[in-house]
């Protein structure tokens, strides 16, 4: 037996199927763990080489697979908002490449495909390929405390221009000294997390694009409020606790402000017995109290990354029951076999169809009615999504299911009629000043209509994706916005409801 045969035999012995599958990420990762490298399949070498030669700025590219190619970029994080944003950019670069290369035809971006950001399908030299874009796990993964703590840090720093691969290391040394002494407005735990993050930074494009976003947010705050104080600890938590006691809502849904800008003295609010009195402490976001106004002691700021999703809506379900398994999967449901899951999915589809059947302005579209065509790997996610949707729709009166959908949007955006004014700041990876959106106090959203004619709410249930997409148009402050909410698997076999798109219509 030669060396190659021995290697394949050892690899085969350790695979789940008993034989290696070069299209299986698990089998290729196993190969790498045994032999220390990932083989480049000769069949796709020309295509991978072409991509490596034309897509730059995202680190080294490793390609595995034959007709289903997994491209891994060394400077793209493996998960999180930054990863989603960067992988989206790479798909755009791949599309540009397909437009200029005659040997690439039939390029299209598709949803699902084994990735949260989708996949690309194309034909290269007459052969069809699917492309998945993946990041690489790294030590600089940043949690929420780091992302928000960096905004506080940049607010008190003297940095006014974007980070680059040339200046990042020099700047970091000064920033580390500030973080080590304690970042104003942050607790010691967050300051130490930021310090650890800064210590792991390297002059990579992915790091630069990520760190420029909190800098961008800080610059926008400093531009309008150079004399304020950012608070994300102490009284920040005391105000949120008071709001939760008054509303019975999660503090994030009362107000999604990740930090407050303090402009003046905060009165003793311990005796407040009405949420409207507490909301008076905040800039309202109305015409006379817009971004930049200093007429109130507090300005609530919700921080978002450039490609962040709009907000989670599943917490709305908790208003109708304290028993989470009413809309989450039970342990028994998690352990169901495929045949049982398919039967229950069909039952839930029938129930959802009946619930929306009498409601106006709703179209429930099932692309392929056969549950047998749903991929086995998507069954639990599909069932979890349908269970959450069916539960919500059932809580609204007949012919009023459209109100449930609009309520989801309002809840995800934290527009709950009891919210204080807040401002969403969207950091830019270029480092330029962040974009600012206003959400006035007590705002609610309604389904869009023109002259009494309402636009349809479309619910798309496909076999290709575990997610169920709900698309509709709302009015916020008199302006129309297109909304897309997805009910999908959250990675833990439970369903989640989340705004994926929220765009103003011109």
Q: Are residues 168 and 114 in the same domain?
A: no
Angle at CA of residue 378, ends 28 and 119, nearest 5°: 55
Give pLDDT, residue 277: 94
Give pLDDT, residue 405: 80
492 located within any domain? yes
Q: Give mean pLDDT, residues 274-292.
A: 92
State residue 66 phi and psi, 5-degree precision: -105, -80
171 located within any domain? yes
Q: Which of 302-311, 385-394, 459-468, 489-498 has the lowest mean pLDDT?
A: 489-498
Q: Which residue has the higher pLDDT, 345 or 474?
A: 345
Q: Give the count of domains, the chain.
A: 3
Q: Give mean pLDDT, residues 450-479.
A: 77
Q: In the beta sheet, which residues pair with residue 391?
A: none
Q: Are residues 390 and 333 in the same domain?
A: yes
The residue among 88, 105, 136 that closes a domain is: 136
**Separation between Cα atoms, residue 502 and residue 302, nearest integer Å:** 15
Residues 6+ apart with CB under 8 A from 396: 403, 404
Residues 6+ apart with CB under 8 A from 115: 132, 133, 134
Q: Give mean pLDDT, residues 189-211.
A: 87
Give pLDDT, residue 140: 41
Give pLDDT, residue 237: 95
Q: Integer distance in angstroms from the first to the last C-alpha of the chain?
A: 69
Q: Which residue has the higher pLDDT, 228 or 439?
A: 228
Using alpha carbons, select from 25, 30, 29 the residue that is nearest to residue 11: 30
222 within 8 A of 156, measured Cβ to Cβ: no
pLDDT digits 0-9 by tens, 8-48:
666 666 666 666 665 555 666 566 555 555 554 444 778 88
Q: Give mean pLDDT, residues 283-303.
A: 93
Which tokens go with 117?
């950001």
Give pLDDT, residue 192: 92
Q: Which of 40-49, 81-90, 252-261, 289-298 has the lowest mean pLDDT?
A: 40-49
Q: Would you call 92 exposed, middle or buried from its count of C-beta atoms within 10 A (0-12, 13-18, 19+)?
A: exposed
Sheet holding 119-124, edge to edge: 61-64, 68-77, 127-136, 119-124, 104-110
If pLDDT is split at 50, 70 and 90, which confidence band does 286 have?
confident
285 located within any domain? no
CA distances for 403 relative to 234, 367, 477, angstroms: 38, 24, 18
Q: In the beta sheet, which residues pair with residue 127?
A: 124
Q: Give mean pLDDT, residues 38-66.
A: 75
**Separation between Cα atoms, residue 502 and residue 121, nearest integer Å:** 26
**Separation between Cα atoms, residue 355 and residue 394, nearest integer Å:** 7
The residue among 136, 157, 176 that closes a domain is: 136
Q: Are residues 472 and 389 in the same domain?
A: yes
Q: Give mean pLDDT, residues 325-330.
A: 81
Q: Are residues 382 and 471 in the same domain?
A: yes
**Separation between Cα atoms, residue 280 and residue 421, nearest integer Å:** 9
Task: For strands 457-461 and 468-476, give the pairing.
Answer: antiparallel
Helix (DSSP H) and strand (DSSP E) numbers for the chain: 15, 19
Average per-residue pLDDT for the chain: 82
Give pLDDT, residue 11: 64
**Separation between Cα atoms, residue 465 and residue 114, nearest integer Å:** 9
Domain at 61, CATH number = 3.30.460.10
If pLDDT is split at 50, 70 and 90, which confidence band does 139 have?
very low
436 located within any domain? no
Give pLDDT, residue 308: 57
Q: Which residue has the higher pLDDT, 231 or 443?
A: 231
Give pLDDT, residue 60: 79
What is the domain range of residue 55? 40-136
Other beta carbons within 10 angstroms of residue 196's beta carbon come to: 15
For the whole model, what pTM was predicted? 0.57
Q: Which of 160-164, 298-302, 399-403 has the lowest mean pLDDT?
A: 399-403
If pLDDT is split at 50, 70 and 90, which confidence band does 346 have?
very high
Block residue for tokens 């709001």: 243
**Separation between Cα atoms, residue 59 and residue 140, nearest integer Å:** 15
Q: Are residues 171 and 203 in the same domain?
A: yes
Q: Are residues 93 and 201 in the same domain?
A: no
Q: Are residues 155 and 53 in the same domain?
A: no
120 located within any domain? yes
460 within 8 A of 367, measured Cβ to Cβ: yes
438 located within any domain? no
Give pLDDT, residue 5: 63
Q: Are residues 129 and 154 in the same domain?
A: no
Q: Are residues 76 and 213 in the same domain?
A: no
Q: Would you call 490 exposed, middle or buried from its count of C-beta atoms within 10 A (0-12, 13-18, 19+)?
A: middle
Q: Are residues 115 and 165 in the same domain?
A: no
Block residue for tokens 């065509």: 373
What share of the chain in percent tops pLDDT 70? 81
Q: Are residues 110 and 182 in the same domain?
A: no
Other beta carbons within 10 angstroms of residue 121's beta carbon come to: 16
Does the structure show a pLDDT above 60 at 178? yes
Does the structure show a pLDDT above 50 at 185? yes
Which tokens go with 279?
């909301």
pLDDT digits 0-9 by tens, 406-426:
777 776 666 677 889 999 999
Q: Which residue has the higher pLDDT, 363 or 3?
A: 363
Q: Are residues 116 and 161 in the same domain?
A: no
**Separation between Cα atoms, residue 377 and residue 465, nearest integer Å:** 10
What share of the chain in percent tops pLDDT 90? 31
260 located within any domain? no
Does the structure show a pLDDT above 90 at 505? no
Residues 6+ apart with CB under 8 A from 208: 162, 163, 164, 165, 168
306 located within any domain? no
The residue among 210, 230, 250 that closes a domain is: 230
């Amino acid at each position: 037996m030669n060396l190659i045969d021995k290697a394949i035999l050892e690899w085969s012995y350790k695979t789940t199927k008993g034989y290696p599958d070069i299209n299986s990420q698990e089998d290729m990762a196993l190969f790498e763990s045994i032999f220390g490298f990932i083989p480049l399949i000769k069949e796709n070498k020309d295509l991978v080489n072409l991509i490596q030669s034309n897509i730059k700025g995202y680190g080294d590219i490793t390609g595995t697979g034959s007709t289903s190619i997994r491209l891994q970029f060394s400077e793209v994080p493996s998960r999180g908002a930054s990863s989603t944003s960067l992988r989206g950019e790479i798909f755009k670069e791949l599309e540009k490449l397909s437009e200029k290369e005659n040997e690439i035809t039939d390029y299209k971006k598709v949803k699902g495909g084994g990735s949260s950001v989708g996949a690309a399908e194309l034909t290269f030299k007459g052969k069809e390929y699917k492309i998945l874009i993946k990041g690489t796990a790294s030590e600089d993964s940043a949690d929420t405390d780091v992302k928000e703590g960096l905004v506080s840090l940049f607010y008190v720093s003297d940095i006014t221009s974007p980070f680059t691969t040339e200046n990042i290391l020099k700047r970091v040394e000064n920033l580390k000294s500030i973080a080590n002494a304690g970042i104003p407005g942050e607790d010691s735990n967050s300051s130490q997390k930021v310090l650890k993050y800064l210590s792991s930074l390297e002059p990579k494009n992915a790091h630069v694009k990520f760190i420029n976003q909190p800098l961008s947010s800080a610059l926008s705050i400093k531009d309008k409020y150079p004399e304020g104080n950012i608070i994300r600890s102490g009284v920040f938590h005391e105000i949120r606790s008071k709001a939760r006691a008054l509303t019975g809502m999660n503090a994030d849904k009362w107000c999604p402000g990740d930090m407050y800008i303090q402009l003046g003295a905060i009165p003793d609010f311990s005796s407040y017995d009405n949420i409207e009195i507490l909301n008076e402490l905040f800039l309202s976001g109305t015409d006379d109290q817009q971004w930049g106004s200093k007429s109130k002691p507090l300005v609530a700021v919700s921080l978002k990354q450039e490609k962040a999703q709009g907000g989670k809506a599943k917490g709305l379900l908790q208003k109708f029951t304290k028993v989470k398994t009413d809309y989450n999967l039970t342990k028994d449901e998690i352990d169901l076999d495929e045949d049982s899951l398919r039967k229950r999915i069909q039952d839930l589809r029938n129930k959802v169809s009946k619930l929306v059947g009498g409601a106006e302005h709703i179209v429930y579209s099932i692309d392929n009615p056969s549950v047998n065509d749903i991929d086995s790997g998507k069954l639990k996610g599909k069932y979890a999504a349908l269970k959450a949707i069916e539960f919500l729709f059932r809580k609204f009166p007949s012919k009023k299911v459209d109100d449930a959908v609009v309520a989801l949007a309002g809840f995800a955006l934290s527009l709950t009629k009891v919210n204080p004014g807040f401002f969403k700041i969207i950091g830019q990876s270029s480092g330029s000043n962040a974009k600012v959106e206003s959400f006035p106090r007590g705002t609610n959203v309604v389904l869009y209509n023109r002259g009494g004619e309402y636009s349809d709410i479309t619910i798309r249930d496909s076999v290709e994706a575990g997610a169920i997409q709900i698309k509709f148009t709302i009015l916020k402050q008199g302006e129309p916005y297109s909304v897309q909410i997805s009910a999908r698997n959250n990675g833990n076999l439970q369903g989640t409801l989340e705004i994926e798109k929220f765009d103003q219509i011109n």
